[in-house]
Structure 1
Amino acid sequence: MNSTTPGASTNSTTPSISLVGYLEIYVFSITFLFGLPTHSYVIWLIITGAGSGVASEFFILNLSVCEIGNCLDMLFFVLLNWISVLAPLALFLQALSIAGRPLFQCLMCVERYLAVVHPVTFLKFKPLRYRVICCTAAWIIILGSCCCMITLLLHYINAEIWFFLSTFLLFLPIQLFCLVAVLRALKQSGPGERGREREEENHMKRRAFYIILITTVNTVFAYVPIIIAGVFIILINQYNLTFWGPGLVCYVLASFVQPVLYLHRTGKLSFLCPS
């Protein structure tokens, strides 16, 4: 079985791994070894109430569950170089990551947009109820996407590339619009009390501004390289790991930003940055 998936290429008899393939294996191994315990720790903190509560962090909880699936997918794609029978499970978990991460990140961006730009509308919703409804619909879409991608791969070898592009191009503009709108709203000076209360408010706005800015840069870093690589592969109608590998590495490494921001916000990284 020859595989042209965005993971490491495999051959059932003699594995042949290029230099880019070794880079992928290295990055995938690092992601599994560090990502799995990090996201598991985030889930444990949310469930035990160490943060702001399950209701306010429900989207992050679901995103971390998706990222755990992504970490397991990294392990299976590394093993896929020698154990080809893992291909269906690896593809299913990869579809979970492709559809899950951008969808839950998009929900988080829309929530931040409503909370900052339209606070009155945001306060009308029951926090946990609408989050549970949104996440239930999201998981139905994600699992359906996993089944569709595996089915399409049986008939069309570039289905995975199209799946990447269609998903990212659908959610990336929504995320960027919400993030830029939040940045503009936080940049503007609103009415408030003078003196110490105003200073504290400005400090909170600056902190939120930098967090959203980091999220925006991370979103561009994660999606733009892999979108460019996917478009190029479709244009030349030939899968090439040399073009796809760097974009995939950017997408994989970007998964560490969200849990690090959460751990920093909950004070679990105070030993690294005491301020």
Structure 2
Amino acid sequence: MNNSTVNFTSEASTNSTTQAFWLVNRLDIFLYSINLLFGFPIHSYVIWLIITGTGSGVASGFFSLNLSFSEIGNCVNSLVCIVRSCFWFSYLETLTWFLLGLGIAGRPLFQCLMCVERYLAVVHPVTFLKYKPLRYRVICCTVVWIITLGSCLGCMFTVILQTIIFLWFYSIQFVLFLSIQLFCLVAVLRALKQSGPGERGRKRGEENHMKRRAFCLILITTMTMIISYVPFTITGFSCIHTQQFTEELFSFGFICYMLAGFVHPILYLHRTGKLFCFCSP
């Protein structure tokens, strides 16, 4: 996400304020560079593994594939922000605001799809088997990409029209997406505590093991989303209430957002046994 999108009018323009402004901008450029240098290769590697079938396959990793494509868009946004900040290309601001929608809607929506998939597998296994074929995943991802495109356009126009609208825009989206993930988390936790059907034995142990894996994935996804968006949301509501913008708070939010973006690709590489292959020269 771009933490320089929100602009409030400053009443004072002293030398100290100008110096602080430049320090924060340098920090932003550093964060964008880290996101680009580390995010782009790791997500590209995940995409390559899924497409070539080296990982867990295209069907089972289709949501991870689309999530990585969305994160590649965030890396491109980091590149655009670096170029715009270093060379003062003002016409790139519109592109930056447009790509901002990938971070606001793309990542959480695909994370929600992964959580809903695990929820159906544990709580409604018959429904999960019915909609397990790849074509249903393609339909869901197509709908998500359409929504994400709408979010990109919404970010571009709301920032241009009024900053407050933009702050409400992404804050409400976060609350909605987090509610979906929390519902899946609680439902899977309840199913995990209930005794499985059939006799006690190996079958029940395997079933509980699958439930635990699903619960851990949803828990990690939910915590990742909280880390990604809670700082931005708190800062957004603070800006709405005080009508003042603090660059440092948005920089802290971007640090959380950037680090949380590495969680899912690392988990995927670890699950497929390719993590150390990626880290080795």
Could you tell me the TM-score, scaled by structure 2's length?
0.83
Alignment of 1:128-143 (within 5 A): 128-143=134-149
Higher relative contact order (CA 8 A, sep 6+): 2
Equivalent residue, structure 2, for 1:107: 113
2:68 corresponds to 1:64: yes
List 4+ stretches of structure 1 deviating above 6 A: none
2:253 maps to which of 236, 247, 251: 247
What is the distance in 2 between the residues matched to 1:169 and 1:205? 26
What is the distance in 2 between the residues matched to 1:121 and 1:20? 50
What is the distance in 1 between the residues matched to 2:211 and 2:153? 42
2:175 corresponds to 1:169: yes
Q: Give the stretch that moved more between structures: 77-86 or 200-209.
A: 200-209
Kindly provide the amino acid, as one letter, of the partner of residue 246 in structure 1: F
SS across alignment from 2:275: coil
C-alpha contact 1:70 1:94 (8 A) present in aligned 2: yes
Equivalent residue, structure 2, for 1:10: none
Kindly provide the amino acid, as one letter, of the partner of residue 111 in structure 1: E
Alignment of 1:1-275 (within 5 A): 4-5=4-5, 17-82=21-86, 83=88, 84-191=90-197, 202-269=208-275
What is the distance in 2 between the residues matched to 1:148 and 1:215? 25
Gaps of 5+ in 2: 8-17
How many aligned positions are there? Answer: 264
SS across alignment from 1:55: coil
C-alpha contact 1:6 1:248 (8 A) present in aligned 2: no
Counterparts in 2 of 1:46 and 1:212: CA distance versus 1, 3 Å: same
Give the Å deviation of 1:112. 1.2
What is the distance in 2 between the residues matched to 1:119 and 1:256? 30
Q: Give the stretch that moved more between structures: 203-212 or 57-66.
A: 203-212
Counterparts in 2 of 1:203 and 1:123: CA distance versus 1, 3 Å: closer
How big is each residue's C-alpha offset from its partner over 1:32-56, in whole Å with a ceiling of 9 and x where there is no partner? 1010011111111111112222122
Give the Å deviation of 1:4. 4.8
Identity %: 61
Equivalent residue, structure 1, for 2:13: none
Kindly provide the amino acid, as one letter, of the partner of residue 5 in structure 1: T
C-alpha contact 1:149 1:159 (8 A) present in aligned 2: no
What is the distance in 1 between the residues matched to 2:6 and 2:63? 27
Could you tell me the TM-score, scaled by structure 1's length?
0.85
Gaps of 5+ in 1: 8-14
Q: CA RMSD in A?
A: 2.7
